[in-house]
Amino acid sequence: MAIISGELTEVKEKYGVPRRTQIVDWSGDMDDEDLIEREDMVVTVTQSGYIKRTPLADFRAQKRGGKGLSGMSTKQEDVVTTLFVANTHTQLLFFTTEGMVYKLKTWRLPQGGRTAKGKAIINILPIPQGVGVAAIMPVDAPEADWNDLQIVFATTQGSVRRNALSDFTNVMRNGKIAMDLPEGVELVNARICGPDDDIMLVTASGRAIRFPTTEVRVFKGRKSTGVRGIKLVREGDKVVSMAVIRHFEASSEERVAYAKMRRALAGADDEGAEDDVAGDISTERFEEMQAAEDLILTIAAQGSGKIGSSHDYPVRGRGGMGVQAMDKAMRGGDLVASFPVEIEDQIMLATSTGQSIRCPVKGISFRSRAAGGVKVFDTAKREVVVSVARIAESNEDEDENSATEE
């Protein structure tokens, strides 16, 4: 021991220096978010209101033609209706039908594996029982840039309002009033929009109006219900859908000529087509219009539906009665939903008796704006379709033979 002690004393005298590290109380601020790694997440929401986040890395790339991977374990009657990729630090805005807005970072959502069920949204946010979520909006832009973005709202009574997104930067845990709605009026949808977009409103009575977003001024407050987007004439009528679609300038003759050629390519008949004489349209102009086209799915209460072209809906000023979105006789009953889809999508229809059907969009006929629909759901007597949802993914089981990892 004396030898060891002597050697250590020699090392201390030869190499010893004063302590360079200081241990002091830290007065800085740090919260949980500072410890969260930035990672892409797949956020999935079901029709019944269950939500979760799953690391994007869990969804491995597959070759074309595979059967895919199971993305969420749901009840037999439940389906995934919303799916998007967001960073863990992405802000998510939740807008309810009562006009409230809630804000969460993606990392605060419950994390689960691909087959996990998730957690009910009402157990994450203080949303009253019976109140639905009208829209979930991921915003990747930093809050400092939110003043450069706009958001548009639509209500069941036909009002629309446009606000700077920066009006929703400071949202407390218990939410914030996004729109002060009168009794009996609900928020239909909320979407980010730009000056090159159009707003399309569709009513239960089968009327549709399309107008540029610039027709609605940017409001400074959140209390106002906005301005009239569409005039409701029939008693009890209401707006059932609001969509933001790409703006495109085309003459009436071009629209008619495009619609006629588009229906011909789709193998559709001309039932309900406009009586205007179609002008000529060049191949280049047709391709330009087709590239800017949105496919509009329209479903009626008695189960009929159709696919149409956004170019079939003329761009008008806001506040009018709109144009026909379904045949005048409304043989399929009131409209339930009308929104843009992709041809590869699937949709799910639910009825007043609890029945549901899931079908591909490509199986629904392409028809003119004023035509009636084809049978999508064979409803029973006194049974009506009450909701339509776009299915965001197919919950197929993994098939190792056909889903080969790239």
The mean per-residue pLDDT over the stretch 307-326 comes to 93
* Of 380, 306, 303, residue with least CA distance to 349: 303
CA–CA distance, 240 with 339 (Å, rounded to integer)? 10
The share of the chain scoring above pLDDT 70, in percent, equals 87
**Residue type present at position 50:** Y
**Residue type present at position 255:** R
CA–CA distance, 353 with 349 (Å, rounded to integer)? 12
- pTM of this prediction? 0.81
Q: What pLDDT score was predicted for residue 392?
A: 64
Give residue 275's Cα distance to chain centre: 35
pLDDT digits (tens, 9 = 90+) for 6-52: 898 888 888 888 878 877 776 666 666 778 888 988 898 888 889 99
Residue where the block lists tokens 């809630």 = 102
CA–CA distance, 340 with 134 (Å, rounded to integer)? 16
CA–CA distance, 200 with 247 (Å, rounded to integer)? 11
pLDDT digits (tens, 9 = 90+) for 169-179: 999 999 999 99
Place 393 in a pLDDT band, splitting at 50, 70 and 90.
low
Domain parsing of the chain, residue ranges: 35-93+101-132
Residue 215 CA: distances (Å) to CA of 37, 161, 183, 259: 42, 10, 26, 26
Place 67 in a pLDDT band, splitting at 50, 70 and 90.
very low
Place 273 in a pLDDT band, splitting at 50, 70 and 90.
low
Q: Which residues of 157-168 are buried (b: 16+ CB within 10 A; e: fewer)?
A: bbbbbbbbbbbb
The answer to whether 74 and 80 have CB atoms below 8 angstroms apart is yes
Tell me which DSSP letter residue 38 carries. P
Between 211 and 252, residue with greater pLDDT: 211
Query: In what helix (H) or strand (E) does residue 6 lie, and over which residues does it extend?
Result: helix 2-15
Between 341 and 25, residue with greater pLDDT: 341
What is the average pLDDT score of the chain? 85
Helical H runs in 209-251?
none
Does the pLDDT value for residue 73 go beyond 70? no
